[in-house]
Structure formats: C-alpha cells, structure tokens
Structure 1
Amino acid sequence: MATDQTYKKKVESAINNPKLSEALHLFGDAYLTSRENAFQGRLDFEAMRKDLAEIKDDVRIRRKELLAEFIKNAEAAGSTVFIAKDTQEANEYVINLAKKKNAKLIAKSKSMVSEEAHFNAALEAEGIKTSETDLGEWIIQLAGQRPSHMVMPAIHMFKEEVAELFSKETGQQLSPDIKSLVNVAREQLRKGYFDADIGLTGANFLVADTGGIGLVTNEGNARLCATLPEVHVVFSGIHKLVRSMEDAVKITRLLPRNATGQLLTSYITWIRGAVPTDGKAKEQHIVLIDGGREALYESKACRDALRCIQCGACANVCPVYQTVGGHVFGSTYISAIGVILTAFYEGLDKAKEITRACIGCRSCSAVCPSNIDLEEIILHLRTQVTQEYGMGMIKNVAFKAVMKNRGLFHSMIRAASKLQRPVTHKNAVDGERPIIRHLPMHFMDRDFTEWRDLPSVAEKSFRDQFKGIVQNVKNSRYKVGFFVGCGADFVYPEVGTSLIKVLNALDVEVVFPQKQNCCGIPALYSGDTETGVDLARQNVEAFTEAEVDYILCVCPTCTMGVKRDFVKRLADSPDWSAKARALSEKTMDASDFLENVLHASEKLTGFKPQGTVTYHDSCHLKRGNKVFKEPRALLNAGGYSVEEMKNSDRCCGFGGTYSFLSHPQISKQITTDKVQTIKAVNSKTVAMDCPGCMIMLKGAMGKADPNVRCAHTIELMAEALDGKE
C-alpha cells in the first residue's frame, strides 16, 4: 500500500507541474515533424524495422556463439573482456581496476547501463570521483537526479533551473541563455578529460566479427573519454551484440532518425582495441553485463524487448510520458520499454505500478524501429502483476463474477438504466439523450464528472432493439454478423441501428448472435487472462454458429479482440484455436468493410452537403487495425467536408477502465489536450469510429463546449442517407 501511495503522490506532483507537460508536449510535436522529414524520400520505415527485427532475432538465437566470437576478436585486439552476472559485479570490477591503477577520477560519457548499476554512487562510496561529461547527464548529476529520458536525460528541466545549478557549481551568477550555459559546461568539463585516470563509455554496438565497439553520439565527449585517459572502460549490456559492421551500419540509419529526427548524429565512432595515446601504453576493459538480460532472452512472451536500440521514441510519442514525465513513468529506463526492462532488471515488484500506467494507445509500437509489440508485452506483464498482487475488489467482481455470466451482466445493465434516472439530465446536443453531469459523492465527482459528463446507459440496448428492426434487403450480397461491443450495445445503440441502415442500403443483411458477450479486452487489460479466455470462447461459439460471410465491429478495440486476442488466448486448445482463426480471418472494422469490400464511397452518391467535420483517429483503429483513410473517404462521399485537427491520432485519454479506476487524473490531462486540439479546429462536429472515444470526448466536450457534437462515422453516414437528394 505504501508503494501505491508513493506512486500516486508522484503522479499528483507531476500533474501539478504544468510546465513539465508543456515542455514535453512541445518536444513531442517537434519530434513528430522532424521524424517524418527524416524518413521522407526512398526510405521505407516498415521494411527497415522488419530487417532490424530479423537481425536482432538472429542475434538472440546465436547469442552464445556471437558472444564467444566477440570476446575472441576483442582479446585478439588487445582488450580485456569481463562478463558480469549483474550490475554489482560490474561495479566491483571497475572499483578494483580503479584501486589497482590508483585512479581518483573517472570521466564518463553517457551510459544508461551505468545508471542501471547506480555506478556513480557505488564508485564514490569507495572514494573514487566520477564526472559526467554528457551535457544532459552532467546537469542531472549536479541536480542529484536520474535521467527522465534515455536519449535526452535532462529534458524535464528548464533553462532557468540549469542556470541556477551552473551558478552554484561555478560560483558565478549566470543568465539562462542556452548558448552561454553550453559554453560554461564546455569550459567546466574540458579539464576533466585530461585529469581523468579512467574514461568510461557505453556502447551502441558490440561488433562480433571485429571485436570492436560502436558509439553513436551528438557530443564529442565519448571520443575524449575513450582516448585521452590511459584506461578506457566499456560498460555495456550483453544485448548490444551485432553480427557485423554491416548490421551496425543498418542500425545507424534508423537510430538517429527515430531518436531525434536527425539524418545522422554528429559523431559515429568505431573503436577496436586500445586507442593509442601519445605513444603511451593504453588499456581497454570491456565489461559486459547480464543483469537480467539472459532471463529476458529466455522469456518467450517478452524477449522481443531486447531488440531495443534505445532510441527513446516510445517516450517521445507516449501520451502518459508527455503528461507525467519519466521520473514517474519508469525507473532507470522510462516509458513503454522501461516498463519491461524494469520488470526484468529490477523485479516485478518495482514494475507493478508502471505496468498499469500504460494506457494502451499503441503509439510506442507504431514508431518502434525494432518492431517490438510493446503494448502486448506490457499486457503480459500486467497479467503477471495481477496474478501476484491482485487487481482490486471492484474489477474482481466486475470481471469474474459479472461479466463472464452473460445473463447476469445484461440484467445488471438493464437495472442500471433504471437506477441512474435520479442523476441524469437532458443533453442539448443529443436531444433527449440523458447524461450524468454530476455524481452525489464528492470524491467520485472529482475523478469521474468534475471535468466530463458521463453517458447514461441506454434505456433499451441494441440487442433488445435488434429484434424489432425490419431489414428490407431483397438480393443480399453478403450476410454479416455484427459484433456490437459493450459501448454500442448498452450506451450508444444508435450506432448499431445506423450500421444496419447503411449496410441495408448496400444490399447487405445483418445478423446479430444473441449469445455474444463482451470481447474481454477490459479484463485482459486489467491482467485477468482467465476471464478473457472464457469470454473469447463464448464469442467464438456464438459467431461460429451464425455462419456469416464477415464479422463487423464498430469498436476497433473489439475488432482487435476478435482478430488478435481470441486467437492468442485460445491458441493452446486445438478445437477452439481453429474456430478462432476462422473468425479472425473474416473480421473487419465496419468502415474498413464499407470502403474496401463494398466500395461504399463510390456507390453511395448524390448526398446533400452536410457541413464541416473534424476527425479523431482512434488509437486501436489506426495503429491496431491500420484503418484511417477509409472513414475519411466515407465522410467525404457522404457530403461532409473533413477539416483535419492537429495530431488527430493522439490518444483521447479513455483507455477503458484506465480513465475511471486506474489513472483518472492522467486521463483527464490527456483528454484536456485533445479537447484543446478539437476547439482549435472550430468545427461543431467531431467524427470518430470508437464508442470508447465517444464516451470520453462527448463527456469532455460536454463540459468544455456543449455545442460541439461527437458522433460515430456510421451515425453520420446514416444521417446523410436520410437526407439524400
């Protein structure tokens, strides 16, 4: 409990520092533009990251062979190689080396694994001074902090804070002028290279077929640390192995582009053996650290994480990181990759809170140059956390006792539609559709309705309405099964009725298997795999019996549930697995089906002009299902003029139970960003293709500007059909 409270206090503190979030957002926006420009031209990012993943996977498979090759070639070049089982053993090696050399000062260039080892503290406890020579690392060393980003360790600090630190260090009153501060750092650090007895660097590459290392940096300090002192220590994780220089060069084409949007960094340095220093004897010691990496290599579910080349892009695009920063969302390593590495390098206990901090938007997976499905690995770790520490009474009851029991679940929803009446109010934008503007208990109101309206449960669910819907389809082209999802079934049934209207207009018959249940994603995202498996079976059975040509979803998370998660969760059961795969192959998002199977934008013509809309790309629609052009094509064909908002695919902050039970305050900040973006477009309608996003954005806009309507693309298409000329 103490750990939970400490973590929550860190979250509150970060949220109450709006300058931090502002700085990270400004960087994030600039990064997206720089990265896009860096990959323009003939570079194929998808092909490049697929190639990198294959390189890294081969290294994993052949790691013992390649490690032996590296050691052999490094020793042949005059290097001394030491393999440390953990960071403590690595620190002890350097301490003993320093004592043997009577070393008093170690000049360090940037090394994340030294942060992991708490190297500076360990050496200074033995009376050996360490001096960070990377500008960002020196700033946080003076501040007594740890990095908040793998590439830009001091990104969370402002120039005024840096000026104060430098003033204290130099005894001069310095102005917060960046150029002047950089010059001060250069002057202060320069003497250290010459005074240092040992220079320490990390390594971006351990090249097996040469025994050399590679360094990719933007400052010249790494070269100085490696060459000026008489002893050079390379401090590196064993996972930095690559097979050859050819592989290393391929990575250098990706790393700077994906890390900072640069075509190439300022310095790429290749070192093999001890670099001569004015004819003096020189030593190079290469300390290779396991520290949990071998265990990670052996984890079938998580091992892809060691493909990571530490570009930091997963933080650059992460809405949670941009809200609270790296000192909250990570330990030594931050953001999505940091969740995984913390679990293996420091233990699951250290990672339990940050596994729940991930909102599941898949931004990290979309930009990862090593093609790591970071979200999927975090979900696996969340399952382990739930098994070890539980997921709380509310979720236990909701998922295990209620959601698995379809009859009980639906009965409780119907009861809720009646019990909610005392707290609902009419919504001017949606006519008679009631909303919940305030909850009676203050502590709940703060997290739930202080900054957003909540939707009411529909008086009549879609499944109950479906029985009375007449479909006038004479010559049916396809028979499709509708996987409605909880949001469209119980909150926005009008999305389902709109889908039937649009499909019927295109000669498609819709069937609705009444035995279908929740897709199970809420349970899976909370670490409850058992409930997820049970719900997968219920749905696979329901839709297998339906015998349809396609299965359509109006919720992209449900689409991913049927296409991806059912297959994964039922993989160990041959009978269920075959059925799940069969359903997966014919499951599509509704807009994807309308545009790419029915070619609706070509066939539905003659619409009246419907006005301007802006479009929000739902996370799992664009990044999970690769659908983003299709809704826009449908809207344009339906007479709507789409005006793009800035960062249309940035998360809305929903994340299911994330915004209600896990991190409502983080969610609030992410949603506030999206609301400001919507308001900047000055459109009175926001289209989207996810009921979850509708819950979040309808609610937030209800408080921010109740005249802005949020609607599903399918609803807007149905309305266009009603007004067709």
Structure 2
Amino acid sequence: MSHQQSNEEFKNSIQKALKDQVMRSALGRFAEAYPISRKAAYTGVDIEQLRTEIACAKARDGENLDELIKQFTQEATKRGAVVYYAKTGDDANRYIVDLAKKRGVKSVVKSKSMASEEIHLNKHLEAAGIKAYETDLGEWILQIAGQRPSHMVMPAIHLSKEQVATYFSNTLSRDIPPDIPFMVDTARKELRDKFLQADMGITGANMAVAQTGSIGLVTNEGNARLTTTLPPIHVALVGLEKLIADLGEAANIIKALPKSATGQIITSYVTFVTGVTPTEVDNQERPKELHIVLMDNGRRQMLDDPEFKEAWQCIRCASCLNVCPSYQLVGGHVYGHIYAGGIGTILTYFFNDHDDAAKPQNLCLGCGKCVEVCPGKIPIPDLILRIRRRLAEEKGLGTIPKTILHRVVANRKLMHSLLRIASKTQFVVSGGQPFIRHLPFFFSELTEGRSLPTIAEQPFRDWAKEHEKSNSGRGKKRVNFYGGCLIDFTYPRIGKAVYDVLESVGCEIYFPWEQACCGAPAKYLGDADTMIRLAKQNIEALEEGNPDYIVSACPTCTLALRDDFVDVLKDDPAWADRAKALAAKVRDFSDLAHSLGVDVSKAKNNGDKTFTYHDSCHYKRHLHLSEVPRELLTQVPGMQLVEMKDSDECCGMAGSYMVKFPEISAPILEKKINNIQATKADMICVDCPGCIMQIGGGLDSHQSKIEIKHTAEVLAEALRKK
C-alpha cells in the first residue's frame, strides 16, 4: 500500500542517514575507488560504441516487446519450461505461492533478485508457511538484519564488517568475529544445508534471451548455480525489461554489466539456463521443473509512455548510484522503496505509485554524472524533471512556490523591483560586507559551510544602458547579451567583463531591457506554465535588433535559451519557429570568444599565477565545452593550470537545491572546497555564476585566500594589460 512521506518524515530520514558515519564511510570509499576501477575495466573497450549498441538494442527490444514475449515463450516452452505472464506483482506472487503449495514446498532458497524484493515475495511465502532463505551473501545479511537493500548490485554496502558480525552473532547464537573471510566461510556453511534441503529455488534474471528461451545470470557467488540446480523446482522471476532479442545482445550486456556495476572486467559466474535438465528426487532421475514468470508490474506502462520509454534501456548495473553525489551521502534507504537513486525514483514512479516518487525525486541534483556512465544512455535527470512536472500538474506546486513563481519570477518588473529594494535593505544581515555570513532563525542552515553573496548596489542592466549610449554603432557583429538573474543583480562585474572581451573583437553588444528570468527555477520545480510565459517574454526581448549572436555567460541560461524554450514551445505553432530561430543564435560566452579569435597571449605578464578549473555540470555535460575555457585561460601569460581532483563533480549549488536540501548541499560543497585547496592554486576559474556563488561562499566561509573568477573576468583583465 502506498504511503506518501510527509516533508518532516523525509527530512528526518535524510538527517538520520547523514548521521550514519559507517554508511557514509562505506559509500565514500566505494565512490573513490569506483571511477578508477571502472576506467581500468574498460581498458581497450570502445565504451561509447558499446553504450550505443546497448541503448539501441534495448530500445529496439522495447518496440518489439510483444514479438519477444511470443518468441521467448515458444522457445522456452519447447525446451520444457513453463512460462507464465504476470500482469501485476500480486499476480506473480500468487502464481509462485500457489505453485509452491501444490508441490508441497516447505523451504525455498533464493539468489539475488530485485524483482522479488519489488513485490515483497518473501513475505507472501512466509504468510503461506513457506520458509524463504536468501543465499546471496549481501541479501542474507539483510534478511537476518531485517533490512532492505540499499543498492541494486551491492545490497548491504551500507553496513560495516562489525555490524555484520553482530547480526551473525545474534542469529547464530555464538560470537562471530568481524573477520570477513571467516564470516564468508560461516555463511557458506550455514547456507549449504539450506540448498540441499530446499524444495524450490527462486532466481531473478539479468537477461531473458528470446532467440533461445534462455535465462542469463551474471553473479559473483556460486549460490545462483546451486539455486538453479539442486532443488527440483526452479522459478525465475523476470521483469519484462530483461527480454532481449539474441545472444549477441547478451554478450554486450555481459561485457558492460560488471564493468559498470563494480568495476570488474567480468563476474565470477556467467550462467545460462536453457530448458529443463535432469534432477534426482528420492534417488530417481526425473526432469527438473522450470517455471519462468515474466512480470509486467508497471513496466509496459513505462515503455508505452513516450516521455519515459528510455528507462527501458536500463540493465540494472546501478552505475548511476555509484556516481550520484546525493546517493553517496544519504544511501539507498532514504529513497523510501526498493529501488534507489535517480533510476530508482523513475522505477518507483511506475512500479509502485506516483506518490511514492514524490519526495525521492527531489534528491536529484540534475548534475548529469549518471548519464555519462549509464550503459543504456538513459537521460535520468531529464526523466526526473518530467516526473516533477507531472507531479506538479497532479498535485499542484504548493502555495509558496506557486506564489513565488507565478507572481514574482514571471513578473519581471515586480521581481526586479524587489531585488532593487533588497539591495538597499541587506545591510542588516550583511553588515555592509560583500558576503552574508550568518542568517537568523530557520534560515541559518543556508549559511552553514558557505556564505551568501549580497545583491549589487547597481544592477548590471543600469550600467549596460549607460554604456551602450556611448558605444552604439561601433561593432561589426550585433550581440544581444542575456545576463540572467545572477549577473544582472549579483555579479555585474561578470557582465562588464563579457562586454570588454567581445567588444575587443569588434562586437556591438546590447542588453535587451525586457529580458527576464530564464525559467530555470520554474523548470526545476515542474512549473511548465511559468516556463512557457518566461520563454515567450525572453524570445520577444532577445529578438530585438535581429542580432547575429545571443550570448550568455551562464550555462544554465544558455541551455534554457537554446534547448528549453524550443522544448516548451514545440507544440505552439505561433512560437515554435521563433524559439528555434533564437536557439540557432545562442552561444555560450567562452565558446563565442574562442570562435571569434579572442587573443590574450600578448598581454603583459604581471607574475606567474596558478589556477584550477571547476567544470560546472551543465557546462561540461550539456554544452560539452570543458576544454574551451582551459584553452583560453592558458593563453594568458603567467597563468598555469593545476587540475583539481574531480573537477567535474557538482559543487552542490544545483539551483534551488541548496535551499531545499542545505544539509546535503553543504557536504558536497565541502568536498569541492577540499579539492580546490589541495591544488594550492592562487585562483579557481569557473564559467557558471551559480557555481561562483556556491564555491565563492564556501571559500569565504573557510577564510581561504583563493580567488574565484569567471573566465570572462580573467580574459578582460588580461586584455587591459596589452
């Protein structure tokens, strides 16, 4: 039964997870080791080619699902298996329990199966008087601990060896030392009799091959082979998404799954079960029973939904969890149901209930790290945003977000007036300093580990208006500058630097006065209506003067202008073409500066200075421009690049994320600050004002002397020294 968590319950679960130092240490160690292991495992493999082949094949399998079900059923049946199609989880439970009752099954051994966790199969077996024993080491640990998996591949990753030893000792009524080889040997001895005595073995499947009617299992322990061979009855519970066309596709999945899941070249066991095999019962040989339950349970609905069909391409490797900044801090149990992480939220939305995904979907930072490593090339953050939008349509935004977005953000004049007023009244909290270091009452968490910037005394638009009066008609190319809220009202210095740099290569730059918020806050809260209103308002503003280019110095804004406006207006005949025409002119600042030939190599060298570079999430993983600013910056005489560790990991800003989840944002920022300071660089350069706000606030909070500057600022300063 669905139970939608209250905000208080959800926040409490996050706080509990953040205080679990054992879990955080375990996840932290794995997160450190995983990228190295994965890279080594993929040595000599064309990763992108493999990912493309898997994604295309899985998409094709989805399109041909009914044919694959028919072919698989025919091939498996003619080899002696019984194939049952279960529409729901209850249907699958009923079939398996009824089968067990008819055969007089008293005990069942199970190998790891997330599908069985999904439908709570063990509880249904227990209710029927049938004892189910998990035989995967991690699953057995969780079974005796009374817990759920926290990871799709490594279910007990959140536990320490000391905790496991305690569970072993309590269950076995004897002292078990926290020695891993000893505990593994103990588990093996305890479970061996269970295999020999079991009347039924239940497995999941990593693949179900329609070509041969085979079940494919990719495992690291021998328990799955014992489960499929020793008991007289084998039941395989298979989600429909595991159906694939042929053994060639299976080979690709086998090649990618262990490398992506745990950084192994290949797992210890790759097993294919094709049809029934002889087995011995009461000293007599007879054919083994093989029952294959093909389970839907919301999968077809996900596949048939044009906005979510890409989720079908998941091969359940959990690589997305392995690189997720939020998951690394809070683990899997915070997600509330069986599947964790971004992909888990999507699966929960379809396999459980929409309400069950309402809170977990907020944990996504939208950093896109998961997309880089996903073997199925699933755009997980985009799918999360679609869930967010649908939930907003179904449940509403809530009074406060709705008021802010509809009445303030969507109203340019009101929003800008409020910001101007705030710039005059902020002295109370800033003390006249450029940073707000402490906030009172329930706002205090926002300034833990970071300071907040103050609003500029003069908005950039006011400066631009005066500047353009004296520079009109001097350029060969007309450029309309989209400043965005942060540059306009917090960092005018970045906007001024953009003008300096582009004017140096003959551009005539204008700041269209009616430009408003790019709509990112509305997008990330699921408010499509406000996004549409802002898209139309900005298109009208930025078309002014028919510019050659429209430039932004914020990657989030660049994406909004280039991609989001086109997306939200695609079904509006009056606006779709205008959005596309605008998008064709949109350029990121550094990219445009580079392509127009900005040259700072002749600038005066005022002394060597080391710098490191932070790749903002949108800049690297959506605009794919991470090398461009590095090339520009290293042209500056005396500037020496020192790469930081994990330069492309999220800083924890993520728009409103730092407001919604300051307790998660802060430790993500702390890690980034530590990596920056470890370089001992004089400066950190960034191409995102949001990251400048977050990282700059973190450096100020740490009383660091490291400067933080936008690439435009560094280039503008160099040009002044020519």
Superposition TM-score tier, normalisation by shorter sequence? over 0.9
* CA drift at 1:139: 0.9
1:430 equivalent in structure 2: none
Aligned to 1:431: none
Q: Does the residue aligned with 1:637 lie in a helix, a strand or coil?
A: coil
Other-structure match for 2:568? 569
Question: For the structure 1 residues 473 and 517, does the alpha-carbon distance in structure 2 shift closer, same or farther, using more than 3 Å as the test?
Answer: closer
Give the structure 1 partner of residue 658 of structure 2. Answer: 659
> 2:537 maps to which residue?
538
The Cα of 1:708 is off from its aligned counterpart by 2.5
Shift of 1:594: 2.1
> 8 Å contact 1:607–1:721 — kept in the other structure?
no
CA distance in 2, matches of 1:135, 1:179: 12
Output the CA distance in 2 between the equivalents of 1:621 and 1:540: 22
Does the CA contact (< 8 Å) of 2:603 and 2:719 recur in 1?
A: no
Q: Partner amino acid for 1:584?
A: A
User: Which residue in 1 is equivalent to 2:11?
Assistant: 8
In the TM superposition, 1:187-586 aligns within 5 A as 187-278=189-280, 279-427=285-433, 434-439=434-439, 441-445=440-444, 447-469=445-467, 476=475, 478-586=477-585
- Counterparts of 2:265 and 2:598 in 1: how far apart (Å)? 41
Q: Return the offset for 1:330.
A: 4.9
Q: Spell out, residue by residue over 1:203-232, the C-alpha distance to the aligned partner (whole angstroms, 9 max, x if none).
A: 111111111111111112111111111111
Cα contact 1:519–1:536 (8 A) shared by 2: yes
How much has 1:69 moved relative to structure 2? Answer: 0.9
Q: Against the structure 1 CA distance between its residues 599 and 310, is the aligned structure 2 distance closer, same or farther, given a 3 Å change threshold?
A: farther
CA contact (8 A) 1:488 1:496 kept: yes
Could you say which residue in structure 2 is the equivalent of 1:36? Answer: 39
> Would you say the 8 A contact 1:386–1:528 is kept in 2?
yes
SS of residue paired to 2:377 = coil
Q: Partner letter of residue 453 of structure 1?
A: S
Instruction: From the superposition, tell whether residues 635 and 63 of structure 1 become closer, same or farther in structure 2 (CA, over 3 Å).
Output: same
CA contact (8 A) 1:523 1:529 kept: yes
Counterpart of 1:687 in structure 2 is 685
Secondary structure of residue in 1 paired with 2:359: helix
Q: Does 1:618 align with 2:616?
A: yes
Name the amino acid aligned to 1:463: R
Amino acid at match of 1:91: N
Secondary structure of residue in 2 paired with 1:176: coil
Match of 1:54 in 2: 56
Task: Say if 2:144 is the partner of 1:142.
Answer: yes
Point out where structure 1 has 5 or more consecutive residues left out of the alignment: 428-433
Q: 1:714 to 1:602 in 2, by over 3 A?
A: closer
Q: Secondary structure at the match of 1:546?
A: coil
Contact 2:277-2:287 within 8 A present in 1 as well: no
Question: Bigger CA drift: 49-58 or 503-512?
Answer: 503-512
Within a 5 Å distance, the mapping from 1:117-132 to structure 2 comes to 117-132=119-134
Gaps of 5+ in 2: none
Shift of residue 600 of structure 1? 3.3
Aligned mates of 1:682, 1:602 — CA distance in 2? 25
Written as runs of structure 1 = structure 2, the 5 A alignment for 1:641-720 is: 641-660=640-659, 662-720=660-718
Superposition deviation, residue 387 in structure 1: 2.2
Amino acid at match of 1:172: R
- After superposition, the C-alpha distances for 1:623-681 in whole angstroms (9 at most, x for unaligned) are 12111111111111113211111111111111111111x21111112112212222222
Once the two structures are overlaid, the 10-residue window that deviates more, 280-289 or 698-707, is: 698-707
Please tell me whether the aligned partners of residues 77 and 273 of structure 1 are also in contact (alpha carbons under 8 angstroms): yes
Q: Quick check: 2:18–2:329 contact (8 Å CA) kept in 1?
A: yes
How far apart are 1:455 and its partner, in Å? 0.7
SS, match of residue 515 in structure 2: coil
Q: CA RMSD in A?
A: 1.8
Structure 1 residues 363, 330: closer, same or farther in 2, change over 3 A?
farther
Q: 1:570 to 1:339 in 2, by over 3 A?
A: same
Change (3 A) 1:690 1:518: same
Amino acid at match of 1:719: E
Deviation at 1:311, TM superposition (A): 0.6
Deviations 1:376-407 (A, max 9, x none): 11101111222233333332122100111111
- The CA distance in 2 between the partners of 1:149 and 1:585, in whole Å, is 42
Match of 1:551, SS state, is: strand
Q: Distance in 2 between matches of 1:502 and 1:361?
A: 29
1:606 Cα deviation from its structure 2 partner = 5.5
Q: Give 3-state SS (helix, strand or coil) of 2:610's partner.
A: strand
Q: Distance in 2 between matches of 1:188 and 1:601?
A: 71
Residues 488-541 of structure 1 deviation map (CA, whole Å, 9 limit, x = unaligned):
111111111011111122222222222211110111100111101111111122
Match of 1:77 in 2: 79
Change (3 A) 1:13 1:50: same
Q: Is the 8 A contact 1:330 1:339 kept in 2?
A: no
Kept in 1, the 8 Å contact 2:464–2:510? The answer is no
Q: CA deviation at 1:346?
A: 0.8
Question: What does residue 162 of structure 2 align with?
Answer: 160
Partner amino acid for 1:366?
E
1:601 CA drift (Å): 5.6
| The 10-residue stretch of structure 1 (576-585 or 688-697) with the greater mean CA deviation from structure 2 | 576-585
Q: CA deviation at 1:138?
A: 0.9
TM-score (norm 1): 0.95
- Whether the aligned pair in 1 keeps the contact of 2:206 and 2:242 (CA below 8 Å) is yes
User: What is the deviation of 1:608?
Assistant: 4.3
Letter in 1 for 2:505: L
TM-score norm. by structure 2 comes to: 0.96
Q: CA deviation at 1:426?
A: 5.0
Separation in structure 2 between the aligned mates of residue 30 and residue 564 of structure 1, nearest angstrom: 35
CA shift, 1:603, in A, is 6.4
State the partner residue of 2:92.
90
- The alpha-carbon distance between structure 1 residues 563 and 309, as it changes in their structure 2 partners (threshold 3 A), is same
Query: Are residues 588 and 47 of structure 1, via their aligned partners in 2, closer, same or farther at CA, if it must alter by over 3 Å?
Result: farther
Q: What's the CA shift string for 1:141-170, capped at 9, x where partnerless?
A: 111111000010001001110111112222
**Once the two structures are superposed, what CA deviation does each residue of 1:570-618 show, in whole Å capped at 9, x if it has no partner?**
01012311121222223222112222x1243686666444401111111
CA distance in 2, matches of 1:275, 1:334: 36
What is the DSSP-based 3-state SS (H/G/I as helix, E as strand, rest coil) of the residue aligned with 1:535? helix
Secondary structure of the structure 2 residue equivalent to 1:331: coil
Report the CA distance between 1:37 and its aligned residue.
1.9
Equivalents in 2 of 1:582, 1:606: separation in Å?
Answer: 41
Q: Which amino acid aligns with 1:400?
A: H
Quick one: distance in 2 between partners of 1:187 and 1:593? 66
Q: Deviations over 1:42-71 (max 9, x none)?
A: x33222222222111111111111111111
Preserved contact between residue 611 and residue 640 of structure 2 (Cα < 8 Å): yes
Cα distance in structure 1, aligned partners of 2:342 and 2:197? 39
- Give 2:187's aligned residue: 185
Residue 169 of structure 2 aligns to which amino acid in structure 1?
Answer: S
Which residue type is aligned with residue 414 of structure 1? R
* In 1, Cα distance between equivalents of 2:274 and 2:479: 63
Query: What residue identity is the alignment partner of 1:435?
Result: F
**2:601/2:636 contact within 8 Å kept:** no
CA distance, structure 2, for counterparts of residue 179 and residue 619 of structure 1: 41
Check the 8 A contact 1:513/1:546 in 2, yes or no.
Answer: no
